Homo-oligomer: A and B are copies of this chain.
């Protein structure tokens, strides 16, 4: 019922997204930028973070007053390489792009740059922002709060955000290395999908309100269950995943005065961005070649019978990006219906967005 029906042309889809955002009150430049970042997630195969969320999350968020379509983003630098950014409750895409651009500027001038961002909203897939740095021959790092759906070791209730960390570095012939992950067992979206498909979760992903392991996603939603940090159990390193979630909270929420995912005193989400200029390290000269050699080792590594060959982080997404750029983005029927509803509501026509 949700099978692929049609392939959208990426540029036409971007244009539709931009026009819809402008209809909702987003200035043209910000709308175009948001469209590029949102469609980029679909191009990379991260459909859960792409146009599927455009209407219900972002545009309705603007319409309800939850998101400010026309923010006055303020950057204050406390040193040549550190900035605090007040996002004025704007779209996370616009704020994230501006903050990452600022760290890249600082890194160009001084070697490195860090930005701590508050009063922001969901910015889509983190992969986009760290790749902005990789395209400038820099390493990009990003941390962000996520939805408060995760508990700690032994916990029974939602305590901490499904906080994100992302990392990108330029590759040579193999394309960029992009790790974009939450140090948890799953994101709530995945649980929604399993619920919708009538499937159960793997053991170890979540607990119910008494801290007992569950595999039924319905129980997670009905009884306010909680997702577990990466590691899942004490003998499998749950304290490591929990620690990494808190590192994100510190870099995003404590450096900004927001408090992080347990408090959110200064807006819905906070983020941290870092750019690190590779040629600012006297020893960094052969970086791209070494990346290719490292990836070569990963590709050559023997794997067990029946297991796939190993891949580097971002490899699958790089492949999907090339394929979808050439052949279009497959949109499932529910996504198409959502876009159609949005067009009707906004007085737009979906038009011919197809490849």
- Taking Cβ atoms with an 8 Å cutoff, the residues of A that contact B are 76-84, 86, 110-114, 116, 118, 139, 151-157, 159, 167, 169, 177, 179, 181, 183-185, 202, 204, 207, 210-212, 230-232, 235-237, 239-244, 246-247, 249-251, 253-257, 259-260, 262-263, 276-287, 290-291, 293-294, 297-298, 301-305, 307-310, 312-313
By beta carbon, the residue of chain B nearest A154 is: B307
Contact at B151–A301, with CB atoms within 8 Å?
yes
Q: How far is the CA of A210 from the CA of B276 in the complex (A)?
A: 39
Q: Report copies per complex.
A: 2
CB pair A255 B239 closer than 8 Å: no
B154 and A304 contacting across the interface, CB-CB below 8 Å: yes
Contact A202–B303 (Cβ < 8 Å)? no
Residues of B within 8 A of A240 (CB): 181, 183, 230
**Once the chains are docked, how many angstroms separate the CA of A82 from the CA of B277?**
9
Which residues of the other chain, B, contact A278 by a CB distance below 8 angstroms? 255
**A313 CA to B250 CA, complexed, in Å:** 12
Bound Cα distance from A98 to B284, whole angstroms: 20
Q: What's the minimum C-beta distance from A171 to chain B, rounded to whole angstroms?
A: 10
| A111 contacts across to B, CB distance below 8 A | 78-82, 114
> Contact check: which of B169, B247, B313 meets A167 at CB < 8 Å?
B247
Verify A79–B284 contact, CB threshold 8 A.
no
Complex interface: chain B residues within 8 A of A310 (CB): 152-155, 242
Q: Is the CB of B81 within 8 A of A110?
A: yes
Contact of A80 among B80, B256, B313 (CB under 8 A): B80
Do B283 and A313 touch across chains, with their CB atoms under 8 A apart? Answer: no
In Å, the complex CA distance between A240 and B255 comes to 25
Give 23 CB contacts A-B under 8 Å: A78-B279, A78-B284, A111-B114, A112-B112, A114-B281, A153-B308, A154-B307, A155-B304, A156-B303, A159-B298, A181-B243, A204-B236, A207-B304, A210-B305, A212-B304, A230-B240, A230-B241, A242-B310, A255-B284, A255-B287, A256-B284, A259-B294, A263-B293
